[in-house]
Amino acid sequence: MRIIIRDTAQEASRLAASQIITSLPTNGRLGVATGSTPLALYGFLREAHAAGEFTLEGCSAWALDEYVQIPEDHPERYRNVLLNELVENGGTGLAADDLHTPDGAAEDPEQAARDYESQIAPGVDVQILGLGSNGHIGFNEPAGSLSSRTHVGHLTPTTRSDNARFFGNDIDAVPSLCITQGLATIMSAREIVLLAFGEGKAEAIAQIVEGGVAQRWPGSILQHHENVTVYVDEAAASRLDLADYYKTLN
Ligand code: F6R
């Protein structure tokens, strides 16, 4: 893993955006995360698009996950979040039809998960990831298989509590089921860019970067990927034993 530590989330997000702009091939496939962490990065991608330096025209974008049975017009439905970030508001050149999200409204979510898995194969070119405070990537919660493919998952109370801020601070309003890319699906990406900011992510970052590979900290599977860059601010890096060493490398 390459660990990039910057004073602020803004600086780290700007660098992550540059990496994506450089790495994504023409007509490439970009894996996209939701949540609050990548919002600044998406802002930089929109800015670069407005400046004529970058476009997702001809590319496709693939969401990590979607809530099951969330109303179609709900602002926190991940398809709506990503349309808002990547297609509307000046956009990034991405066409709405080229944004792929698991079908959380499907009558048979298990089948929808299998369908999504076959559509995303053989994996994206560049995958953007956030990190849960409990170490999840996508919605792969602790104790799930390290070899999982896209599946229906149950959110932990920790994740529902973390995400309650998007649902009027009402944990009961946070859906408990999701369709998520599995860990093996995420690992099939050619290149991975993970971002984590704030003290609330410090333990998870220390565990996935410097701990052992274990189901308890699902993001630790990334230690087996050959092309992962982790962008953190000082707060998220605060529990890394080797932070000073990583800083000498970049
Ligand atoms: C979102 C996702 C999650 C989030 C994680 C962090 O598509 O898959 O893994 O990246 O829960 O969320 P934030 O960024 O809101 O702290």
- The alpha carbon of 131 and the centre of ligand 1 are apart by a number of angstroms equal to 6
CA distances from 54 to 12, 27, 51, 171 (A): 19, 12, 8, 38
Enumerate the β-bridge partners of residue 137: 140
**pLDDT tens per residue across span 87-134:** 998 899 999 999 999 999 999 999 999 999 999 999 999 999 999 999
Nearest-CA residue for atom 11 of ligand 1: 132
**pLDDT tens per residue across span 141-185:** 999 999 999 999 999 999 999 999 999 999 999 999 999 999 999
Dihedral sign computed on CA atoms, order 248, 214, 101, 68: negative
Quote the Cα angle for 142-29-125, to 5°. 65
Nearest-CA residue for atom 13 of ligand 1: 35
Nearest-CA residue for atom 3 of ligand 1: 138
Q: What is the pLDDT of residue 89?
A: 85
Of the candidates 234, 38, 223, the residue with the CA atom closest to the CA atom of residue 129: 38
Query: Of the residues 134, 151, 162, 163, which is catalytic?
Result: 134
**pLDDT tens per residue across span 189-211:** 999 999 999 999 999 999 999 99
Q: What is the pLDDT of residue 14?
A: 98
Q: Where do the structural domains in the chain lie, given as residue ranges? A: 2-248
Q: What is the mean pLDDT of the chain?
A: 97
**pLDDT tens per residue across span 49-78:** 999 999 999 999 999 999 999 999 999 999
User: Catalytic residue at 11?
Assistant: no
Specify the DSSP class assigned to residue 111: H
Q: What percentage of the chain exceeds 90 in pLDDT?
A: 99
> Which helix (H) or strand (E) element contains residue 192?
strand 191-196
CATH number of 2-248: 3.40.50.1360
User: Catalytic residue at 98?
Assistant: no
For residue 216, what pLDDT band results from cuts at 50, 70 and 90? very high
Average pLDDT, integer, range 28-34:
98
Tell me how crowded residue 4 is: count the other CB atoms within 10 A of its CB.
20
> Which helix (H) or strand (E) element contains residue 14?
helix 9-23
Q: What percentage of the chain exceeds 70 in pLDDT?
A: 100
pLDDT reading at 250 higher than 90: no
